[in-house]
Structure 1
Amino acid sequence: MSAALECRGLVAGHGPVPVLRPLDLTVEHGTVLAVLGPNGAGKTTLLNTLAGLLPRLGGEVLVDGKPLPRGRPRAANRAGLILVPDDRALFTTLTVRENLTLARRAGAPTLDEVLDMFPALRERLGVAAGALSGGEQQMLAVARGLVQKPEVLLIDEMSMGLAPVIVEELLPVVRRIVDETGAVVVLVEQHVRLALEVADNAIVLVHGDVTLAGPATGLAADRRRLEAAYLGGVEAGAA
């Protein structure tokens, strides 16, 4: 059985300038991959390249063993690579219900199934997305990703701009998404501890290179090695 997502020698960047150097990555079905690292490490560049918004500079991206064309966001979306961007990209003048129903594809989780994961949205169905709180907007952004029937859900900085108490409530939903829908989640996240709690595996990116990779539980248990990886230290490497 093919991996849900695979990168082979992926090189990514803006224009001709590489930001992410040759990356080999395999994400199996039914798993969460946390992508960690300091600001400017190349995490968002990775997600935007996987989603086809940035044309890759080299290498291959495969979904269920099928290679994706370079820089074709519609093709990536049709293949099931669904991006939840850090700015959420909601239709702010449309209601919660309209944001979800317009995006929903055949065979995707129903509106009720998605609202079971985000019950706070049930009472806000008739409210314009722009009038929601930051936490509610993030719930809606992820919910809208789910109704597009993702094979791979790419979530960029789910916690951006949110209070820690909201983050504590939201991140565990990532685990539920994988367990209940079977979709893979690739999660870029600044809250390292919480990300490792919900992830199966993790990588740390620093200056476009993977400085540490391995099971999330192992990385969480070895804080010294994790800190060294963030700093590009000599103790980093494969876990």
Structure 2
Amino acid sequence: MSLSVRGLVAGRGKVPIVRNLDVDAPDGSVLAVLGPNGAGKSTVMLTLAGLLPRLGGEVLVDDKQLPSGNPARANRSGIVLVPDNRALFTGLTVADNISIARRRRGGMSDAEVRELFPALEARWKLAAGALSGGEQQMLAVARALVQKPSVLLIDEMSMGLAPVIVESLLPTVRRIADTGGTTVVLVEQHVRLALEVADEALVLVHGNVTLRGPAADLRKHPDRLQQAYFGGEPAQATS
């Protein structure tokens, strides 16, 4: 399913942090949301998931508008969030974490989870709290996938992980979009790695988009990315 955002104003309480955000993410695409800490990226993700009420604008899945601040409705529409803290049940096993998340109508099977994340197979009966950081992130994504998402929101996959682990995990995002037709919105600090798996990207600074365009074009112009991180007028990337 496609995700469309029109004129989104998002914030904490009544204070706007992100202003007039527009997004178009078609089926099976990956959108990378980049920017420095404090730019409003996580606020956008929580708002799209319905965990924060919108202060303005529209969020649409397959052209159907979602109500503001309604996480259950957003989830039923197919939006699933992997939060930056992973929110695992650390005292429960890997198998139990996945079983609890699975919807009645069925999403990814246990066998498919183990195929996508082979490292979890040997950890299947271990408590989630005993996993390494990378394994916990795999479990967090797997738990989202068994909910059969149409739109998968991943907030800071690399949080607390070594770059070599991030480099092995991020290609999975591309595979999820390509094989399942899932629309993925990825907030990520590792800019180069994010642009390698994304179709489109935007840079958010102080709640405003300072650059957006095809990821392949942005990879070719690191100078534009650097300028965008320091602010400036919104721009479109061109090859």
- TM bucket normalised to smaller: over 0.9
Question: Partner letter of residue 6 of structure 2?
Answer: R
Partner of residue 46, structure 1: 44
The runs of 5 or more residues in structure 1 that have no matched partner are none
Q: Secondary structure at the match of 2:98?
A: helix
Q: Secondary structure at the match of 1:238?
A: coil
Aligned residue runs from structure 1 range 126-205, under 5 A: 126-205=125-204
Question: Partner letter of residue 139 of structure 1?
Answer: M
Aligned residue runs from structure 1 range 15-164, under 5 A: 15-105=13-103, 106-164=105-163
What's the TM-score once normalised by structure 1's chain length?
Answer: 0.97
Q: Indicate the percent of aligned positions where both proteins have the same amino acid.
A: 68
Provide the C-alpha distance between the structure 2 equivalents of 1:107 and 1:184, rounded to a whole number of angstroms: 18
Per-residue CA deviation, residues 45-92 of structure 1 (Å, 9 max, x unaligned), is: 000000001000001100111110110011111111100000000011
Question: Partner letter of residue 71 of structure 1?
Answer: G
Question: Partner letter of residue 6 of structure 1?
Answer: S
Of 12, 15, 18, 1:14 maps to: 12
Q: Secondary structure at the match of 2:152?
A: strand
Aligned-pair CA distance for 1:94? 0.7
Question: Partner letter of residue 113 of structure 2?
Answer: V
RMSD value over aligned CA atoms? 0.9
Question: Partner letter of residue 18 of structure 1?
Answer: P
After the TM superposition, list the runs of 4 or more consecutive aligned residues in structure 1 that deviate by more than 6 angstroms.
none
Provide the C-alpha distance between the structure 2 equivalents of 1:179 and 1:23, rounded to a whole number of angstroms: 26
Aligned-pair CA distance for 1:233? 3.4
Provide the C-alpha distance between the structure 2 equivalents of 1:93 and 1:201, rounded to a whole number of angstroms: 38
Provide the C-alpha distance between the structure 1 equivalents of 2:7 and 2:228, rounded to a whole number of angstroms: 21
Q: Secondary structure at the match of 1:18?
A: strand
The runs of 5 or more residues in structure 2 that have no matched partner are none
Per-residue CA deviation, residues 170-192 of structure 1 (Å, 9 max, x unaligned), is: 01110011111111110000000
Provide the C-alpha distance between the structure 1 equivalents of 2:126 and 2:118, rounded to a whole number of angstroms: 14
Q: Secondary structure at the match of 1:142?
A: helix
Q: Secondary structure at the match of 2:28?
A: coil
Aligned-pair CA distance for 1:107? 3.5
Per-residue CA deviation, residues 132-191 of structure 1 (Å, 9 max, x unaligned), is: 111100000000000000010000000010011111110111001111111111000000
Query: What is the number of equivalent residue pairs in this alignment?
Result: 236
What's the TM-score once normalised by structure 2's chain length?
Answer: 0.97
Per-residue CA deviation, residues 213-239 of structure 1 (Å, 9 max, x unaligned), is: 1000000110111111111135x5112
Provide the C-alpha distance between the structure 2 equivalents of 1:114 and 1:181, rounded to a whole number of angstroms: 13
